[in-house]
Chain A
């Protein structure tokens, strides 16, 4: 029997795992990525706030893929779902039996006036390893003033990311001996310090205990680098010495035919359980590029990759919407655990969860390369810690 051709667009968190999960005796797998490197995005935090070397968080995509998986280093410029064709910037075309969108959510630095200049000046911890490195240099040279972390759109990768940045920057300033002179400020678009009140109630006292200034209902609208001010849609303003603003995210920038498979924000419309692109049984989308109503997270991308790998092999598998986003302070951590049917469950900050987060980071490359080793572990973990299970135990 001829092998079925699977073309995976993007070799990031979702794409690389899916490629390694597909049995090669049945499928001919090709990964297309415009970058030669796979970047571990949570590593931005470790570079920006802990000064770790950026090389630790990037590996050649080819080195992560199983032998036998084809890698095409080119940019996708168009996908025609009716013609079953992927168009590449280099002029090439790829035909397929199945296509999987996994190109992530690029950031839009032109949506907020003044944002591009801000990032060029200070760096940030959401876009690139180079910008994370720049932010580290900026923060390490701060002796006084206000470091502001703010958000331009409530839909962004890893909802606790800005909060992690807040706690880790405080820790950095403490290590540098300037925590009493540099004020850390966190401004969020929601009514509480975190979008879920359950989680907000846990972290609010921690923020307070560190003297971190917080602002709610603050959605960044524009930035004035000369006046050192951020203005919000809600009509407020914040002074900063240094600021890092999470940029609005977008769906795939390349053309997809038919155009109506993208939603108003440009994300690929999928069935939230099966990851199938609406209207096409030979197209799937996973990870940050979809409109699934759950957090944009590596865990989502990973679990959706497993669902698609199973479905392509003819098994029934569904993604529950499960999230497990970590939120860490200097010594403790928690996971925001939710799914399509349950808002975040009550959790406490603990040393175990802080350790688990460090373990997840340390074993990331191994998890991408050897899913057959890690899947039984993850499967058992996600089953034991499912929201409906933990709710019977009063949370975690």
Chain B
């Protein structure tokens, strides 16, 4: 162990110490030091980590590579354009939808809203089928 202050405070350390002290003064003036001191309590940490360490978050964090890969390829313009549509439709689905048989289906088809929805679905199915075919044999569809 060095005995004297001069042995501890080499030129390099003195420069670093001066910068650290300036930084500490700034943090103190802004009240950061006092606030950090107040927040650093075992119970605050306990609740913070309890909140952060959600099993879902651990799972998401573990698959961040997979998720980012998928998210990076999403067409956000298309999502943005259709998101209100999907939200509205999801919200208006009744808690328990009535079961529909073949007869009921024929009746429902007379409803213009169902007709519009079906039109959307058919267009969507066509596009889905096309990309499925393309995935199987690229360039064919």
Residues of chain B lying within 8 A (CB to CB) of residue A377: 45, 49, 53
Q: Does B58 contact A (CB under 8 A)?
A: yes
CB distance from B125 to the nearest CB of A (A): 29
Contact call B61/A352, Cβ cutoff below 8 A: yes
CB distance from B44 to the nearest CB of A (A): 9
CB distance from A182 to the nearest CB of B (A): 31
Contact call A396/B54, Cβ cutoff below 8 A: no
Q: A376-B45, A377-B45, A380-B46 are in contact. Are A389 and B63 (CB under 8 A)?
A: no
Contact call A380/B50, Cβ cutoff below 8 A: yes
Contact call A385/B61, Cβ cutoff below 8 A: no
Contact call B62/A396, Cβ cutoff below 8 A: yes
Size category, B interface:
10 to 19
How distant is the Cα of A346 from the Cα of B50 in the complex, in angstroms?
Answer: 23
Contact call A396/B50, Cβ cutoff below 8 A: no
Q: Does B31 contact A (CB under 8 A)?
A: no
Contact call A350/B54, Cβ cutoff below 8 A: no
Contact call A384/B61, Cβ cutoff below 8 A: no
How distant is the Cα of A373 from the Cα of B58 in the complex, in angstroms?
Answer: 21
Q: Does A315 contact B (CB under 8 A)?
A: no
Per-residue interface assignment for chain B, residues 49 to 67, with 1 indicating a CB less than 8 Å from any chain A CB and 0 otherwise: 1101111111101111100
Residue in B45, B53, B56, B64 whose CB lies within 8 Å of A383 = B53
Per-residue interface assignment for chain A, residues 349 to 376, with 1 indicating a CB less than 8 Å from any chain B CB and 0 otherwise: 0111100000000000000000011011
CB distance from B20 to the nearest CB of A (A): 21
Contact call B55/A350, Cβ cutoff below 8 A: no
How distant is the Cα of A380 from the Cα of B62 in the complex, in angstroms?
Answer: 17
Residue in B48, B53, B63 whose CB lies within 8 Å of A384 = B53
Most buried by B among A351, A384, A385: A384
**A-B residue pair count with CB separations less than 8 angstroms:** 51
Residue in B52, B56, B59, B64 whose CB lies within 8 Å of A380 = B52
How distant is the Cα of A377 from the Cα of B50 in the complex, in angstroms?
Answer: 8
Q: A385-B55, A393-B55 are in contact. Are A376 and B49 (CB under 8 A)?
A: yes
Closest chain A residue to B65, Cβ basis = A351
Per-residue interface assignment for chain A, residues 21 to 60, with 1 indicating a CB less than 8 Å from any chain B CB and 0 otherwise: 0000000000000000000000000000000000000000
Q: Does B42 contact A (CB under 8 A)?
A: yes
Closest chain B residue to A386, Cβ basis = B55
Closest chain A residue to B40, Cβ basis = A373
Q: A372-B42, A376-B45 are in contact. Are A348 and B62 (CB under 8 A)?
A: yes
How distant is the Cα of A383 from the Cα of B48 in the complex, in angstroms?
Answer: 14
Closest chain A residue to B50, Cβ basis = A380
How distant is the Cα of A380 from the Cα of B42 in the complex, in angstroms?
Answer: 13
CB distance from B36 to the nearest CB of A (A): 14
Residues of chain A lying within 8 A (CB to CB) of residue B57: 384
Contact call B58/A385, Cβ cutoff below 8 A: yes
Residues of chain A lying within 8 A (CB to CB) of residue B58: 384-385, 396
Q: Does A379 contact B (CB under 8 A)?
A: yes
Contact call B50/A383, Cβ cutoff below 8 A: yes
Contact call A384/B54, Cβ cutoff below 8 A: yes
How distant is the Cα of A389 from the Cα of B50 in the complex, in angstroms?
Answer: 14
Q: A348-B62, A350-B62, A377-B45 are in contact. Are A393 and B56 (CB under 8 A)?
A: yes
How distant is the Cα of A243 from the Cα of B44 in the complex, in angstroms?
Answer: 50
Q: Does A217 contact B (CB under 8 A)?
A: no
Contact call A350/B63, Cβ cutoff below 8 A: yes
CB distance from B56 to the nearest CB of A (A): 7
Q: Does A390 contact B (CB under 8 A)?
A: yes
Closest chain A residue to B56, Cβ basis = A393
Within 8 A of A (CB), among B13-62: 42, 45-46, 48-50, 52-59, 61-62
Closest chain B residue to A353, Cβ basis = B62
Residues of chain B lying within 8 A (CB to CB) of residue A380: 46, 49-50, 52-53
How distant is the Cα of A385 from the Cα of B63 in the complex, in angstroms?
Answer: 15
Per-residue interface assignment for chain A, residues 227 to 254, with 1 indicating a CB less than 8 Å from any chain B CB and 0 otherwise: 0000000000000000000000000000
CB distance from A62 to the nearest CB of B (A): 15
Per-residue interface assignment for chain A, residues 143 to 158, with 1 indicating a CB less than 8 Å from any chain B CB and 0 otherwise: 0000000000000000
Most buried by B among A353, A375, A376, A390: A376
Given A353-B62, A393-B59, 6 other A-B contacts at CB below 8 A? Answer: A376-B42, A379-B49, A380-B52, A383-B50, A392-B55, A396-B62
Residue pairs across A and B with Cβ atoms less than 8 A apart, 27 shown, are A348-B62, A350-B62, A350-B63, A353-B62, A375-B42, A376-B45, A376-B49, A376-B50, A379-B46, A379-B50, A380-B49, A380-B53, A381-B53, A383-B53, A384-B53, A384-B58, A385-B53, A385-B55, A385-B58, A389-B55, A390-B55, A390-B59, A392-B55, A393-B55, A393-B56, A393-B59, A396-B58
Q: Interface on A for B, CB 8 Å cutoff? A: 348, 350-353, 372-373, 375-377, 379-381, 383-385, 389-390, 392-393, 396
Q: Which 4 A-B pairs have the closest CB atoms?
A: A380-B49, A376-B46, A380-B53, A384-B53
Q: Interface on B for A, CB 8 Å cutoff? A: 42, 45-46, 48-50, 52-59, 61-65
